[in-house]
Structure 1
Amino acid sequence: MRVTCTSCESAVDHCHGTLIVHAGRMPECTDPGCTSFCHARHTFIVDCFDIAGGCACATETPTRRHA
C-alpha cells in the first residue's frame, strides 16, 4: 500500500519537514530542501529546547543590553 500526501496531490504549498524555532525566534527546518520558514507551510513546529538531547542555544544565557 502506497501512502500519498494529500497536500502534494492538491498542489498546496507545504513542507514535509519539522520547523524548529530557536532562541531569538530563529527558525530552522529539518528538510534541507525547504524554501520558506513560514509556520503555515509546516505541520510540525517545535521549540528547540523540546528536541531530544537539547539544543546549544536553549542553554545559552541571553545577553543584556545596556542603555
Structure 2
Amino acid sequence: MSMECAFCAGGLDHCHGTLVVHLEGGFTECSEDGCVDLDLARHTLTIDCFDVDGGCSCAEMPARLLLRAS
C-alpha cells in the first residue's frame, strides 16, 4: 500500500520542501531543488535559519547579542 500526499491528490499547488526564513534580511529559501515560489502558503514546513542543522551565519549574530546581554 503506497501513501499519497493529500495536496498532490487534490491537485493543490504546494511544495514538499522546507522553507527556511533567514533572520538577517528576512529572505527565504527552500530545501526542495527547483522550488521557485517561496510563498509561505505553499510550504507545510517552515523554520527559521537558527534551527538549521549546522547553523546559519545570520543566526550567529542574535546568539552573540543574547550572550552579551546576559
Smaller-chain TM-score bracket? 0.7 to 0.9
Tell me what 2:2 maps to.
2
The CA deviation at 1:35 is: 2.2
Structure 1 unaligned residues grouped into runs of 5+ = 62-67
Are 1:51 and 2:55 counterparts? no
Corresponding residue SS for 1:57: helix
* Aligned amino acid, residue 28 of structure 1: E
**Identity, % of aligned pairs?**
49
Tell me what 1:13 maps to.
13
The CA deviation at 1:24 is: 1.3
Distance in 2 separating the partners of 1:37 and 1:6? 20
Distance in 1 separating the partners of 2:8 and 2:36? 15
Structure 2 unaligned residues grouped into runs of 5+ = 63-70
Distance in 2 separating the partners of 1:14 and 1:6? 10
The CA deviation at 1:5 is: 0.7
* Aligned amino acid, residue 25 of structure 1: G
RMSD: 1.3
Distance in 2 separating the partners of 1:27 and 1:17? 12
Tell me what 1:30 maps to.
31
Q: Which contiguous aligned blocks of 4+ residues in structure 1 show a shift greater than 3 angstroms?
A: none
